[in-house]
Structure 1
Amino acid sequence: MSFFVISTGSWSIPPQEFVHHFRSRWPGVVIRETQEPDSSEFLKFDLAMPHSSDVDGALQRPGKSIYFDSDLRDAAQLALWFRSLAPPSEPMVFCDESMSGYLDLAPNTTEADIFRAFDYEPAPPGWMSYDLIPRGGWGMPLQVLAQQMRLRWPAARVEESAEPESRRAFDFQVPMTHSEVRGNVRRKVSAMIFTGDIRDCAELASWCRSILSTEEILLSCDQGHLTLKAGMNAEDILKALGTP
């Protein structure tokens, strides 16, 4: 998912100072200066983090904001680090590309504050969280998606939210071969968040791919990012993620 950290006041950071702080905090970061003088970006960066194999982002001109693609847990670290570079009085916000989550970043903001703002629940020990994102939307009403899930797994518990302002369109618990896969589908952003045994999660992702007409579907987890191609089955997904 794409995230933004934006200074809404007068503060900005020179590229050289940004690079110095970045390399001091994460020595392994790869930074590339933008060669195009008309680019909206000062520089781009690539960084391996605990939950994202490749955090791809940029410092935007005039040094007031950064954006990047990553797991929310890594995004929280980056956001709080960028917040720490600015004066305490500087107003700053953290949000995602769809504005499904939004938070004013104060000097005392914590990762837990960010997780609450984005309705994030960490996966149980030994499991990973998965984000399935159809870039062109679901291609069907969310009520139909919930109905399709019930038809595929009759024992599934699918609970649709009665609150129109809720971030979640519905929550689900699907008994599968190796675990009970639990998750939810977001209302304002096209995303399904779920956790369970990796084999069952691969099966769920494969099923989503099979019923959706959307051309580009992204699956993200701690082991990396994968574009789900038409016809991919669970075994294909496990192999692509490097899982035997």
Structure 2
Amino acid sequence: MSVTSIRRLSPTTYSDNRKSRSATRSWVTAFVASSATRRFMTYLAVFEGKSGQAVDRDVLVGALRSDWPDAEVTVSSDATPGREVRDVAWTYGETEGRIEGRSHIDGTCLYLEGPLRLAARFAVWYRGLVPSVEELIFCDDTYSFTVSVATGASPEGVERAVEASF
């Protein structure tokens, strides 16, 4: 359910107070369900590589293992099907949820499936690995929003920018 369709689900006014409360409750439930769906999705942290630079596979793996020691990291072999978008894959979980991450073989994109809060944290962390001359964009897989992740950005700031775009 999209945000647009939620706006059309405004509560109907009823003379009977119980019906009105029920309609309002249904509308609020639909809104909360939509927000939860939007927040747990596939996000991308991507840059164009205009400078001819990328995040090297070994650098990414080393940084994941040192900065996220509880993450389960796997590195694909040359014969792995789908390697282009699963060159390095990892899962990480904590009380905020669980996220699955993958890197594109060209070293310019992370695919992050999970809650917005964790995806924003990984995007800000990835910014530290991305060449400083590159603009890092955080978006969802449908490009319904784009947020530039600047050097020194906070996960909370990225999350607020995403929420403000809806």
**2:126 alignment partner, SS class:** helix
Matches within 5 A, 1:96-111: 96-111=140-155
Of 34, 55, 69, the match for 2:76: 34
Q: Does 1:93 find its partner at 2:137?
A: yes
The residue identity in structure 1 corresponding to 2:146 is: Y
Cross-structure match for 2:94: 49
The structure-2 alpha-carbon separation of the partners of 1:46 and 1:112, relative to structure 1 and needing over 3 Å to count, comes to closer
By how many angstroms is 1:79 displaced? Answer: 0.3
Which structure 2 residue ranges, 5 or more long, are not aligned?
1-40
Cross-structure match for 1:11: 53
The structure-2 alpha-carbon separation of the partners of 1:96 and 1:38, relative to structure 1 and needing over 3 Å to count, comes to closer
Cross-structure match for 1:154: none
Q: Does 1:64 find its partner at 2:102?
A: no
Preserved contact between residue 137 and residue 146 of structure 2 (Cα < 8 Å): yes
Preserved contact between residue 103 and residue 111 of structure 2 (Cα < 8 Å): yes
**1:119 alignment partner, SS class:** helix
Cross-structure match for 2:33: none
Moved over 4 A (4+): none
Preserved contact between residue 100 and residue 118 of structure 1 (Cα < 8 Å): no
Q: For the residues of structure 2 that align with 1:50 and 1:76, how far apart are their CA atoms? A: 16
By how many angstroms is 1:98 displaced? Answer: 2.3
Which structure 1 residue ranges, 5 or more long, are not aligned?
121-165, 168-244
Q: For the residues of structure 1 that align with 2:75 and 2:114, how far apart are their CA atoms? A: 21
The residue identity in structure 1 corresponding to 2:63 is: H
Q: For the residues of structure 2 that align with 1:112 and 1:33, how far apart are their CA atoms? A: 30
Q: Does 1:113 find its partner at 2:166?
A: no
By how many angstroms is 1:34 displaced? Answer: 2.0
Q: Does 1:24 find its partner at 2:66?
A: yes
Q: For the residues of structure 2 that align with 1:95 and 1:82, how far apart are their CA atoms? A: 14
Q: For the residues of structure 1 that align with 2:148 and 2:120, how far apart are their CA atoms? A: 13
By how many angstroms is 1:37 displaced? Answer: 6.3
Cross-structure match for 2:122: 78
The residue identity in structure 1 corresponding to 2:87 is: F
- What CA deviation, in whole Å up to 9, does each residue of 1:147-186 have, x standing for no partner? xxxxxxxxxxxxxxxxxxx83xxxxxxxxxxxxxxxxxxx
Matches within 5 A, 1:125-144: none
By how many angstroms is 1:55 displaced? Answer: 1.1
The structure-2 alpha-carbon separation of the partners of 1:79 and 1:38, relative to structure 1 and needing over 3 Å to count, comes to closer
Cross-structure match for 1:225: none
- What CA deviation, in whole Å up to 9, does each residue of 1:206-229 have, x standing for no partner? xxxxxxxxxxxxxxxxxxxxxxxx
Which has more helix, going by share of residues? 2
Preserved contact between residue 46 and residue 109 of structure 2 (Cα < 8 Å): yes
Preserved contact between residue 84 and residue 107 of structure 1 (Cα < 8 Å): yes
**2:83 alignment partner, SS class:** coil
Which has more strand, going by share of residues? 1
**2:87 alignment partner, SS class:** strand
Preserved contact between residue 7 and residue 93 of structure 1 (Cα < 8 Å): yes
The structure with higher relative contact order (CA 8 Å, sep 6+) is 2
**2:92 alignment partner, SS class:** strand
The structure-2 alpha-carbon separation of the partners of 1:118 and 1:38, relative to structure 1 and needing over 3 Å to count, comes to closer
**2:106 alignment partner, SS class:** coil
